A and B are shown apart, each in its own frame.
Chain A
Amino acid sequence: MPNTSRHSDPSGVNDGPAAGAAAGTSHHGAVAVDPPLAAAAATDVVGLGRARAFAFVAPALLLIGVFLLFPALWTLYIGATDYERTGPKHVSPSFVGVGNYTDVLADPSFYNSLWLSLLFVGFSAVIGQNGLGFALAWSLRNVAGWVRRTVETLVLFAWILPGSVVAFLWIAMLDRDGGTVNALLGTPGLAWFVDYPMASLIIFNIWRGTAFSLMLYGAALSSVPPSQLETARLAGASGLQTLRDVVFPHIRGHALTNTLLITLWTFNDFTPFLLTAGGPGDDSEIVSVYVYNTAIRDGRLGYSGAISLLILVANVVLALLYLRMLRKRSVS
């Protein structure tokens, strides 16, 4: 849930959605077996029995059902009421149908947050993390071991540290008076989070999240057959030509997968709240912060439920696209 996918898996084995990739390509049956055996492999191996198997799955399903599936579905209902956090409408909310949705869709502050989220996702994830991640993976692939390891470790640390800590580190970096950035750029007194809140968040998020793209592209590039790269070199292709003609066709699927995932995570990221809390005013109130501010700060639960549902729908679209990508790749 929160941050689970965003602030991903330090084991590097894989992370929520990446686990899907693994599932898609998993290798059944390590031992060579007769064809009928492959069919048998799906039946009960230890004689657990179906009843016990269900009992095994039940606890996990119960937790997922109550704390993940139900809240998602409940959003539908909450969004159709005028539920509030306190007051009479907390005790007995009334059903307002699609009222909240029409309100949300007519609310300029919703469009403001949507626009800011698009900026945030577009510049920090799709362009920033994607681009920097690929550039680093490409340029580091033939570099001496220790340089590569150092850069990779630095990038990874930015990714694995707790959100509260990295947020604070950036508050320190960008501080108006004593911040390192102002000292380096010779711009004393510049209040980054006040004057350029979105730019600050975007730079921050590039710093924070490039690690995933770097690792994914690193893995993708190692899947390009060296013989093809060598053929291109023998043919006298320039670096850019090699990228276009040899490398890109191989990693197109990875690039799309990566873009979908980081889009999904960045869109749902809540860390910007720790940096600007949406301010000043609503200048950096991206959708995730907007939901928090309307729901928990202002207490307008019904109204924010409607926004939540819109987020869920966007997530479902992104996730379905991602799963289709996976399926395609495991087929081919």
Chain B
Amino acid sequence: MAGISARKLDKVYPGGVHAVDRLDLDIDDGEFFALLGPSGCGKTTLLRTIAGLEQATGGSVLIGGRDVTNVTPARRDVAMVFQDYALFPHMTVIDNISYPLRIKRQARVARHARATEIGVQLGLADLMDRRPAALSGGQQQRVALARAVACHPSLFLFDEPLSNLDARLRLEARTFLKRLQRELGVTTVFVTHDQAEALALADRIAVMEAGRIRQLGTPREVFGRPANTFVANFIGSTPMNLLDGVVRGSTVDVAGGSLPVPAGAEGLVTDGEKVIVGVRPEYVRLSRSGEGLAGEVSILEHLGTTTLVTVDCGDELVGATVPEEDEPEPGAAVRLAPVPGRLLLYRAEDGELIGA
């Protein structure tokens, strides 16, 4: 078991691409940690640098307090599951799972016993003699996990572990993965571009952009209090409302109306300052009358138990999620008010959070 630290970690590719940019990061022992970001943000490179598959061009990586920056992957005591699982097609499931033990020169009988034990644990008992090509996507993924578990590493690294599964299977595998990690208690870092996956699985999430971490926090923090408009935009299955506004005393002029400045931002903004007002559709209350921004319902999108209502407020479009039974008519005049404490204020010039 081990934590991970990155100190001013830098990775520049020969072509000049700055994939990881002087990055500092601490991952605790036993933590289930997500690296989240759009493609090209450097998350996979960071993972591969932790694994040792990429050589850092600056800074250092520590695993369990030991500086491993210049240590080969073999001596880092990590196990990695690749996006395509990298199951050796010419080996059976049992040989695949026991391959790491074969490298460690365990006897055939011992390593097969261990592989069988893990295979049973992961529900692969009937598949041990098959080749990877004869397995379904979900089974392949579990074999890859089993192989990683067989190494008994102090650290798991998963590169997009669920992305090759179809949507229904993905939910199942997600639950399985989380339970496995809880049972084993091994520090696990995984890379994903799917915010829902990160929110569901991780203890903490690092949201990355252009080789840097834009926010580091628990799923709740990252979802409820995005540190900047980039994270606000990236997290959440329906996009957050981000509206241009101007501070007028203790209120903000926004979308043809005005809203109170949130308590956490009081005293941090000046009169006339340009800001961006952020609020999730899930945190917008829609009513026929009363407080809030006035607007007209333009589009309804059914999301199952809820409906995403797009409301035309002045020049802006504002989204609000309502329970299916409260669905308004298109064209209806409505009022929108943020749930108290859920309104976020960002600086217009750099998009950083002022307060909530």
Partners in one complex: yes
Interface residues, chain A, with chain B CB atoms under 8 Å away? 30-31, 33-37, 39-40, 42-43, 47
Tell me which residues across on chain B come within 8 A of A33, comparing CB atoms. Answer: 44
Tell me which residues across on chain B come within 8 A of A37, comparing CB atoms. Answer: 44-45, 48
Tell me which residues across on chain B come within 8 A of A40, comparing CB atoms. Answer: 13, 45, 48, 54
Closest to B14 in A: A39
Interface residues, chain B, with chain A CB atoms under 8 Å away? 13-15, 17, 19, 39-45, 48, 54, 72-73, 83-84
A47 to B48, CA, bound (A): 14
Among A30, A31, A34, A43, point to the contact of B39 (Cβ < 8 A).
A34
Tell me which residues across on chain A come within 8 A of B39, comparing CB atoms. Answer: 34-35
Closest to A31 in B: B84
> Which of B13, B41, B54, B84 gathers most chain A CB within 10 Å?
B13
Q: A36 touching B19 by the CB < 8 A rule?
A: yes
Q: B45 touching A36 by the CB < 8 A rule?
A: yes
Specify the main secondary structure of chain B where it touches its partner.
loop
Are A39 and B15 also in contact (CB < 8 A) when A33-B44, A34-B40, A34-B44 are?
Answer: yes
Are A36 and B17 also in contact (CB < 8 A) when A31-B83, A31-B84 are?
Answer: yes
A30 to B84, CA, bound (A): 10
A237 to B90, CA, bound (A): 52
Q: Which 5 A-B pairs have the closest CB atoms?
A: A36-B19, A39-B13, A35-B40, A39-B15, A36-B17
How many interface contacts (CB-CB < 8 Å) are there between A and B? 37
Are A34 and B45 also in contact (CB < 8 A) when A39-B14, A39-B15 are?
Answer: yes
Tell me which residues across on chain A come within 8 A of B54, comparing CB atoms. Answer: 40, 43
Tell me which residues across on chain A come within 8 A of B17, comparing CB atoms. Answer: 35-36, 39
Closest to A30 in B: B84
Q: A36 touching B83 by the CB < 8 A rule?
A: no
A322 to B162, CA, bound (A): 45
Q: B84 touching A36 by the CB < 8 A rule?
A: no
A173 to B54, CA, bound (A): 65
Tell me which residues across on chain A come within 8 A of B48, comparing CB atoms. Answer: 37, 40
Q: What's the nearest-Cβ distance from chain A to residue B31, in Å?
A: 24
11 additional A-B residue pairs with CB within 8 Å, beyond A30-B84, A36-B13: A33-B44, A34-B39, A34-B44, A34-B45, A36-B17, A36-B19, A36-B45, A39-B13, A40-B13, A43-B54, A47-B73
Would you mind naming 27 contact pairs between A and B with Cβ atoms under 8 Å apart?
A30-B84, A31-B83, A31-B84, A33-B44, A34-B39, A34-B41, A34-B42, A34-B45, A35-B40, A36-B13, A36-B17, A36-B19, A36-B40, A36-B42, A36-B44, A37-B44, A39-B13, A39-B14, A39-B15, A40-B13, A40-B45, A40-B48, A40-B54, A42-B14, A43-B14, A47-B72, A47-B73
A119 to B24, CA, bound (A): 74
Tell me which residues across on chain B come within 8 A of A42, comparing CB atoms. Answer: 14
Closest to A42 in B: B14
A40 to B73, CA, bound (A): 16
Q: What's the nearest-Cβ distance from chain B to residue A147, in Å?
A: 36
Closest to B38 in A: A34
Tell me which residues across on chain A come within 8 A of B14, comparing CB atoms. Answer: 39, 42-43
A12 to B43, CA, bound (A): 42
Q: What's the nearest-Cβ distance from chain B to residue A42, in Å?
A: 8
Closest to B48 in A: A40
Closest to B19 in A: A36
Tell me which residues across on chain A come within 8 A of B84, comparing CB atoms. Answer: 30-31
Tell me which residues across on chain A come within 8 A of B19, comparing CB atoms. Answer: 36
A37 to B84, CA, bound (A): 15
A31 to B82, CA, bound (A): 10
A36 to B84, CA, bound (A): 18
